């Protein structure tokens, strides 16, 4: 191949008289330009494509809300089991004394309460597990769930009359308030709206 060959894939040599200069960006690197092979350089490691970097570690308030959801789930499952066992034992005792038909409606209502407690415990576990990978739906569900817990805690405070229901209402209000406060701040929005790769 000669340098005058127009089919030369390597192009004309630089600085030869009679040849036009090469266009910038083609062929040999220009002064001040990093050598490349036709493709753009990849971004530095740790910088994601497309979106700005979102939070990579769960914020502290989110960790607190997650732990409280697991604690709440344990309490709800425990009380649901205790209420269900006690309702069954009370029905068995009343049946043994011959008044089982009279108490079956009340026992059914108590067992329904136990099932609701177990379902809420399962929901608390589900929400706590999904905090790591979940999106906006998990955040909204947690907000609704904690709001309902606050209403239930207020109801227990009003109806409690200073007894154990009042104490349960205070505990419920404290836990639900912390969970709700952690869900409505900016760090929760950034965490649940972060890009997932």
pLDDT in tens, 26-70: 555 555 555 555 555 655 565 555 555 555 788 888 899 999 999
The pTM (predicted TM-score) of the whole model is 0.65
Distance, CA of 195 to CA of 55 (rounded, Å): 9
| pLDDT, tens only, 174-194 | 999 999 999 998 888 888 888
Q: Which range in 9-18, 106-115, 176-185 is most confidently predicted, on average pLDDT? A: 176-185
CB atoms within 10 A of CB 55: 12
CA distances for 166 relative to 38, 68, 163, 186, angstroms: 72, 20, 5, 32
- What's the Rg (C-alpha) of the chain? 33
Which of these, 158, 163, 161, 188, lies nearest to 173 by C-alpha position? 158
How much is the pLDDT for 40? 59
Q: Do 189 and 54 meet the contact criterion of CB atoms below 8 Å apart?
A: no
Nearest one of 140, 173, 129, 175 to 155, comparing CA atoms? 173
Query: Helix (H, G, I), strand (E, B), or coil: what is residue 58?
Result: coil
What does the block give as tokens for 30? 């220009």
Least confidently predicted of 13-17, 90-94, 110-114, 120-124: 13-17
- H runs (alpha helix) in the chain: 60-96, 100-130, 136-160, 164-183, 186-192
Q: Where are the domains of the chain?
A: 60-192
């Amino acid at each position: 191949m000669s340098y005058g060959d127009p089919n030369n894939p390597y192009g004309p040599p630089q600085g030869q008289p009679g040849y036009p200069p090469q266009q910038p960006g083609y062929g040999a690197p220009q002064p001040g330009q990093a050598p490349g092979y036709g493709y753009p350089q990849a971004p530095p490691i740790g910088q994601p494509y497309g979106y700005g970097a979102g939070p990579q570690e769960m914020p502290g308030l989110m960790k607190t809300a997650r732990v409280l959801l697991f604690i709440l789930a344990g309490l709800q499952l425990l009380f649901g089991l205790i209420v269900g066992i006690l309702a069954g034992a009370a029905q068995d005792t009343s049946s043994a004394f011959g008044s089982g038909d009279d108490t079956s409606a009340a026992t059914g209502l108590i067992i329904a309460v136990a099932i609701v407690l177990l379902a809420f415990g399962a929901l608390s576990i589900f929400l706590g597990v999904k905090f790591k990978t979940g999106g906006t739906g998990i955040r909204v569900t947690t907000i609704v769930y904690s709001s309902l817990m606050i209403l239930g805690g207020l109801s227990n405070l009003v109806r409690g009359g200073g007894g154990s229901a009042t104490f349960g209402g205070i505990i419920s209000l404290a836990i639900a308030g912390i969970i709700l406060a952690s869900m409505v701040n900016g760090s929760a929005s950034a965490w649940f709206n972060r890009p997932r790769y």
